[in-house]
């Protein structure tokens, strides 16, 4: 890979095998429902976002971990098929992560994530990719890997690198991390758990892009707020929609340089 061009987008994050059951409706607590279809597909926020960025035209690399198992092989093959650089896809002894996903006929979903190999990704793995991180135009991260991994990647990003954080699943974030973040992309629930857009800006984040599902979203900066109108669509399955958005936004930032 020494002759490969510097990546436009580097994604640090999770890679899972998704086990998906389709049912007329999702079960209530303590209830069992029957599925009418089942399939397995590559997923994980990091993998989804990396492939989305690549399909949006950005030269993309992925930093993450999978197990020494068939699921890990499947994920690696999926990255390669979409021309995602897997130089820093680490093979570890823990099993590849899984996500158990239920999808209803009205396109709602319920997800349980089993981290597996994703939590074996360590700051030392990130440090081994320091040259790649420093040369990237955009660094995109999420919170399905350990927080110390996210923190170290942000610290190693180049001075000109745009750092994008998708704060999912939402947890308390230290100022030491937020200070490095140029763009944060919470959904409407996550932004409230993080104290609101104004608080994130006050703590050092450059811009807050809040996704609001069918209502579109909003861009909040120190200069004000801009509504983002949605494209009218008939949703079939909302699983991964936010990940596709984050990957596309990161590709846009890398290729065009702005959010406007």
Give the strand pairing for 224-228 and 217-221.
Answer: antiparallel
Taking a C-beta distance cutoff of 8 angstroms, is the pair 250, 168 a contact? Answer: no
List 109's β-bridge partners, or say none: 103
CA dist 120 → 13, 65, 123, 227 (Å): 11, 7, 10, 39
Rounded to a whole number of angstroms, the CA Rg of the chain reads 18
Q: Answer yes or no: 243 catalytic.
A: yes
Q: Hey, how many other C-beta atoms are within 10 angstroms of the C-beta on 241?
A: 17
Vertex 241 angle, CA 235 and 247, to 5°: 145
Label each residue of 192-208 as H, E or C: HHCCCHHHHHHCCCCEE
CA dist 234 → 1, 229, 231 (Å): 41, 15, 10
Catalytic choice (182, 234, 243, 256): 243
Strand order in the sheet with 109-114: 35-43, 16-23, 97-104, 109-114
Taking a C-beta distance cutoff of 8 angstroms, is the pair 96, 17 a contact? Answer: yes
Both tokens of 72, joined, read 């890990």
Helical spans, DSSP H, in the chain: 45-55, 70-81, 123-127, 130-135, 147-156, 175-178, 188-193, 197-202, 241-256
Which residues does the annotation mark as catalytic? 243
């Amino acid at each position: 890979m020494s002759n490969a061009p510097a990546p436009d987008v580097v994604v640090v994050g999770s890679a899972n095998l998704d086990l998906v059951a389709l049912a007329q409706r999702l079960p209530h607590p303590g209830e069992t429902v029957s599925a009418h279809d089942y399939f397995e597909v590559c997923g994980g926020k990091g993998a989804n976002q990396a492939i989305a960025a690549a399909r949006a035209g950005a030269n993309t690399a992925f930093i993450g971990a999978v197990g020494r198992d068939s699921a890990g092989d499947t994920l690696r093959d999926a990255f390669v098929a979409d021309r995602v650089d897997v130089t820093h896809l680490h093979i570890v002894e823990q099993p590849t992560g899984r996500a158990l996903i239920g999808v209803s006929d009205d396109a709602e979903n319920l997800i349980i994530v089993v981290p597996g190999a994703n939590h074996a990704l360590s700051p030392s793995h990130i440090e081994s990719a320091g040259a790649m991180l420093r040369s990237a135009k955009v660094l995109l991260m999420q919170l399905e890997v350990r927080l110390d991994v996210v923190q170290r990647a942000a610290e190693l990003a180049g001075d000109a690198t745009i750092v994008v954080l998708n704060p999912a699943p939402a947890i308390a974030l230290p100022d030491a991390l937020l200070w490095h973040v140029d763009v944060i992309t919470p959904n409407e629930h996550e932004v409230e758990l993080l104290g609101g857009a104004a608080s994130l800006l006050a703590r050092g984040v450059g811009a807050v892009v809040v996704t609001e599902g069918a209502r579109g979203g909003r861009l909040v900066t120190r200069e004000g707020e801009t509504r983002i109108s949605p494209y009218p669509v008939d949703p079939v399955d909302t699983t991964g929609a936010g990940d596709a958005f984050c990957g596309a936004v990161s590709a846009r930032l890398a290729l065009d340089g702005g959010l406007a």
